[in-house]
Structure 1
């Protein structure tokens, strides 16, 4: 029979199918729905079932390429070697995939940051696959603290492809905004367990994303103090959690509807918010007197904001 799919170009391959193999007689779109319930690894393995299944997985709309499960059970001295082997398999999956991607998640080891493999993956899934939602996670063994996250050094304009609308980074060190130049395409940015030299660098990174509507920040600064400034008139949702000891925090967002503050270290009077949709009463900030080393730590503000500030009477 000839297999066709509305989500992939018309294919003229004819596959010999056993009359008793009823599943393989289903059209491509139904087989792809079956594979959508499988992990990427399981979906790829279906290619060995028969010639009918060889190409079906290649048109799935998302890929999750995850080294973590293997590396978690790998002895420390073999992490480098095993990660290289896994990276080759991940590259093969990306190269064999056809069509475009809605989502792509890549969890890798530090080696891929250093040898150019990560850059190659990003170029492929954005430039060739037109990925809309990209998540990059740096594998950090339990024996290491995330503050020792690995340097993310990428080419300028790495994330500027017009199709990319959501970017999530986890477990990296960032040194500058070059990779984020001309990123007016991005609507959502998540920086989780990220290490940055100082607050001004993060301000520069955020300034490159003029069209952001959602920002989630969980960042540590190598150099404490400084001013973190967020100025974005398209911003609607801002979540700040565990930002360490900055002198001043300034947020200018005329369209901001949701402000979620989990835990930050900044003096009450040095938190400046200009957001007409949110009326912040500074008395809502709760001092945590149980920690003498953090006299200006304010916690649980998000619950107060949700109950009182987002819908003021």
Structure 2
């Protein structure tokens, strides 16, 4: 027994150390060590500096800081207050000693940090002294500090942000979660903001519209459970690419966003006739309005210029980062180019994550000449030549395909839904050109395919 234990200890030392007693982990390059520490909170990563001189500055190489005080939420109130104060002081010390490039900072804090003014101090220091680019503030509530109603809670987290506090030269993304914002002063002249997320935020009357007016260059806007909006919501923005409206109790919504590529709607109280939108790049056909099911409209097939400027599929990355939202979707409408492998890959990723999708609307877009030239230069092959469209393990009630032109790619795409049994009831196809012989032949071939579902009904029309 002792011999086996001794052998195990020797093997462990051999794995951890080389011949001269240096551990192998410390010999890894800084980039790899930084990747390991990215999985830890900033406080945890900072503790590694005591391991050896080699680790002293490794934690500072991570430009994305995370301060999470939720581990104190289940302790008694007095201990939680002391722990929260200590965590706040430690965070300030870490920020002051951080001399590297700081990209983002995410802070989960307590109510006491709002009441004592710590949050405003953090924002001012991070935005105006450290030139942070991405800031997220989430106010957490322990069991010992939770009010009787949500209105009492939001009154307790009311915070008057000073004028132009978010108008930093480098701040591009801001998330505020579980706050009460009584005035719009903090958002004055926020020409710098490209992303704004307001989640479970309580606002005063018309302040939300004024906040949006002070942020004219937003590309991503998320309004999720914003309370006390008893006025019409008006969103006028020529730069907006991504818009999510969820859990809003408003009498009327007006959206004018000519460059919008992604629209998410869920749990809205206003009626359909009180929702108006101008977003010509999105496909709205039958069911863009559904109060009981989440809706996603996505212009996957954007122009080459837009894709290059947006770093290809940035909208898809935003959606894939919120899988909970995708799993709640009931209806999805997309514009997609079946001849573009990237478009098909994005659509495949979305469908894999949609858990309860009942209706899928697909508008087939033809590839523009510049798309053709770019794909030839990059040596791309059509998706049907590389790998088949993935079979989903979910069933949908209906699929609507618009602008079907009878091309080989369009036929191959539509046939997947017929033969793989993803559609249970209706598959409707809108014909792009009723006089096209190619379209007629493709439709005849589709109708003769073996159907995985015996209840599947084909509908073809020039005007669905």
Shorter-normalised TM range: 0.7 to 0.9
Structure 1 equivalent of residue 243 of structure 2:
238
Q: 2: CA distance between counterparts of 1:31 and 1:20?
A: 19
What residue number does 2:85 align with?
Answer: 84
User: Match for residue 182 of structure 1?
Assistant: 189
The answer to whether the Cα contact below 8 Å between 1:278 and 1:310 also exists between their aligned partners in 2 is: no
- Identify the residue that residue 217 of structure 1 maps to in structure 2: 223
Helix, strand or coil for the counterpart of 2:92? helix
Whole-angstrom distance in 1 between the partners of 2:65 and 2:107 = 8
For 1:260, the equivalent position in structure 2 comes to 264
| Counterpart contact for 2:41–2:68, Cα < 8 Å | no
Q: Deviations over 1:222-264 (max 9, x none)?
A: 3x631110100101111111001x2211111110111110111
Equivalent residue runs for 1:274-289 within 5 Å? 274-281=278-285, 284-286=288-290
Which of the numbers 331, 337, 346 marks the counterpart of 1:304? 331
Contact 1:219 1:243 (8 Å CA) reproduced: yes
**Of the candidates 49, 52, 74, which is equivalent to residue 50 of structure 1?**
52
Larger Rg: 2
Q: Is the 8 A contact 1:61 1:102 kept in 2?
A: yes
**Cα-to-partner distance string for 1:90-145 (whole Å, 9 max, x where unaligned):** 21111221122122101111222232221221222222332221111001235445
Counterparts of 1:1-313 in structure 2, within 5 Å, are: 20-22=21-23, 23-24=25-26, 28-70=30-72, 72-142=73-143, 143-144=146-147, 146-147=150-151, 148-149=153-154, 150-198=157-205, 200-222=206-228, 225-244=230-249, 246-281=250-285, 284-286=288-290, 297=291, 299-302=293-296, 303-306=330-333, 307-308=360-361, 313=403
**Shift in Å at residue 52 of structure 1?**
3.4
Is contact 2:260–2:281 with CA below 8 Å preserved after alignment?
yes
Structure 2 Cα separation of the partners of residues 304 and 34 of structure 1: 39
Moved more, 100-109 or 119-128: 119-128
Q: Return the alpha-carbon distance in structure 2 between the equivalents of residues 208 and 178 of structure 1.
A: 9
TM-score scaled by length of structure 2: 0.56
* CA distance 1:24–1:284, shift in 2 (3 Å): closer
Q: Report how far residue 190 of structure 1 moved.
A: 1.0
Tell me if structure 2 keeps the 8 A contact 1:217–1:240: yes
Deviates more, 1:212-221 or 1:48-57: 48-57
Secondary structure of 1:301's aligned partner: strand
Higher helix share: 2
* Cα displacement (A) at 1:55: 2.6
- In structure 2, what is the Cα distance between the partners aligned to 1:204 and 1:107? 27
Going from structure 1 to structure 2, the CA distance change for 1:284 and 1:49 (only over 3 Å counts) comes to closer
Q: Of the two structures, which has the highest relative contact order with CA contacts closer than 8 Å and spacing of 6 or more? A: 1
TM-score by length of 1: 0.81
Structure 1 contact 140–146 (Cα < 8 Å) conserved = no
CA distance in 1, matches of 2:129, 2:285: 48
Instruction: Return 232-241 or 213-222, whichever deviates more.
Output: 213-222
Runs of 4+ in 1 over 6 A off after TM superposition: none
- Unaligned segments of structure 1, at least 5 residues: 1-17, 287-296
Distance 1:226 1:185 in 2: 27
Contact 1:146 1:171 in 2 (8 A): no
CA distance in 1, matches of 2:80, 2:191: 37
Which runs of no fewer than 5 residues in structure 2 stay unpaired?
1-18, 297-329, 334-359, 365-401, 404-464
Count how many residue pairs are aligned between Structure 1 and Structure 2.
Answer: 282
Cα 1:74–1:125 change in 2 (3 A) is: same
